[in-house]
Structure 1
Amino acid sequence: MSTKQQNFGQIQLIYGPMFSGKTSELLRIVKRYSYAKKKCLVVNYIKDNRYTESTSICTHDKITLDNNNSYIQTQKCLKLQEIMEKYEMFDVIAIDEGQFFQDIDEKCDFFANNGKIVLVAALDATFQRKPFNNILNLVCISESVTKLTAVCVSCGGNASFTKRKIKCDQIELIGSSEIYEPVCRTCFYNNEYDGNTQ
């Protein structure tokens, strides 16, 4: 007697410091899936209003993705639980700023186990180089993990870390180049104090 096998999806994680092109890469992959006529839901954190107040997803380079494509829908939410009623309508679930979703590891595993292609772009660490545990958990259950680097603003080398330019210990402080900059290991430690010292 043969039984029908469950069709599983997969999780692809793109992570790294700020300004490493994570969102740009996420949007590139989403557009590629949309060209293949895959229905894509692109989710961003509701408090991320750096470049747009709408549900559009926007990169640091001001490249936006909105609902103009019939195969792409964008949404902002606080928790991924908010998309549970509609996830079945999509082939691809893409999540930007994944580090802010406390339920990301659990929900991504659920989506992939229910046949969805799950794409996640996230920071790999805080400005103190401490891990986001939900993203570490996601590494363990992802089929593909890509770590990107940026360009160090101080020396021009490969930047693997995000440095905070202002003195503030708050972990969730959403901002752009006015608050953060990408740096290499040497420049992380050698530049003047800015809240990053251990």
Structure 2
Amino acid sequence: MFIETSKSQKGWIEVIVGSMFSGKTEELIRRLNRAKIAKQTVEIFKPGIDVRYSEEEVVSHDSNAIRSTSVENSANILLLSGSVDVIGIDEAQFFDKGLVAVCNQLANDGVRVIVAGLDMDFSGKPFGPIPDLLATAEYVTKVHAICMRCGALANYSYRLSENKDTVLLGEKDRYEPLCRSCYLKATK
């Protein structure tokens, strides 16, 4: 689906989005590992807030992992990226709006940028910088989980608690993926 790139070719932005438990991080790790196999230099970043599984790795729900650098804001990605062919960014919804400019600058400089994140928050609203990244990306992949109530494709991350904070880190103890129909029933 994607052509492996070198620094002599123009960069681009790929965005992987979906609900919780849809395989976004798994797909990010897969693409980054393929770039490594192609002997490309790779750097991975994640927001400092995400310490659910590891502070030094991006880890999928299936326990696949890849070394990463935690950063407090998007500007740090530019400072720490150095001379690389591919940059991966996980949990992009937790970054500031400056992430869009950072990704565009990297792509303009010839870097392949692969970003993964939630497209919607628990209330079904667009989340963080993701909508703007979707608008500027050359490639967009939407992945789906399976609805925990009916087995259909799930597009929503339903929060199981009454907490209304936009950012609430959690796993299956706090969220479940739901299809549109089950999400609407659950939120009524």
1:61 Cα offset (Å): 1.3
List per-residue Cα deviations over 1:91-143 (Å, max 9, x = no partner).
11100000111121111011101110000001010100001251111111100
Distance between the aligned counterparts of 1:86 and 1:152, measured in 2? 38
SS in 1 for 2:148: coil
The one of 127, 151, 156 equivalent to 1:156 is 151
What 5-or-longer segments of structure 2 have no aligned partner?
1-7
Distance between the aligned counterparts of 1:86 and 1:168, measured in 2? 35
Residue 51 (structure 2) aligns with = 49
1:88 Cα offset (Å): 3.2
List per-residue Cα deviations over 1:33-71 (Å, max 9, x = no partner).
00011111111111111112x3111111111112xxxxx
Task: Indicate how the Cα distance of structure 1 residues 133 and 86 shifts in structure 2: closer, same or farther if over 3 A, else same.
Answer: closer
Tell me the TM-score normalised to structure 2 length.
0.91
Residue 93 (structure 1) aligns with = 87
Distance between the aligned counterparts of 1:64 and 1:178, measured in 2? 21
Distance between the aligned counterparts of 1:133 and 1:172, measured in 2? 10
Alignment length (residue pairs): 180
SS in 1 for 2:70: strand
Distance between the aligned counterparts of 1:129 and 1:86, measured in 2? 33
Tell me the TM-score normalised to structure 1 length.
0.87
**Mean Cα deviation higher: 79-88 or 42-51:** 79-88
Residue 76 (structure 2) aligns with = 82
Distance between the aligned counterparts of 2:109 and 2:81, measured in 1? 10
Equivalent positions of 1:40-189 (< 5 A) are 40-52=42-54, 54-66=55-67, 74-102=68-96, 103-189=98-184
The share of aligned pairs that are identical, in percent, is: 36
1:7 Cα offset (Å): 5.1
What 5-or-longer segments of structure 1 have no aligned partner?
1-5, 67-73
Task: Indicate how the Cα distance of structure 1 residues 63 and 166 shifts in structure 2: closer, same or farther if over 3 A, else same.
Answer: same
Counterpart contact for 1:91–1:116, Cα < 8 Å: yes
State which structure, 1 or 2, has the greater radius of gyration over its C-alpha atoms. Answer: 1
Distance between the aligned counterparts of 1:51 and 1:143, measured in 2? 30
CA root-mean-square deviation:
1.4
Counterpart contact for 1:151–1:183, Cα < 8 Å: yes
Distance between the aligned counterparts of 2:107 and 2:22, measured in 1? 26
Counterpart contact for 2:12–2:110, Cα < 8 Å: yes
Counterpart contact for 2:46–2:70, Cα < 8 Å: yes
The one of 19, 25, 30 equivalent to 2:27 is 25
Counterpart contact for 2:12–2:112, Cα < 8 Å: yes
1:14 Cα offset (Å): 0.3
SS in 1 for 2:173: coil
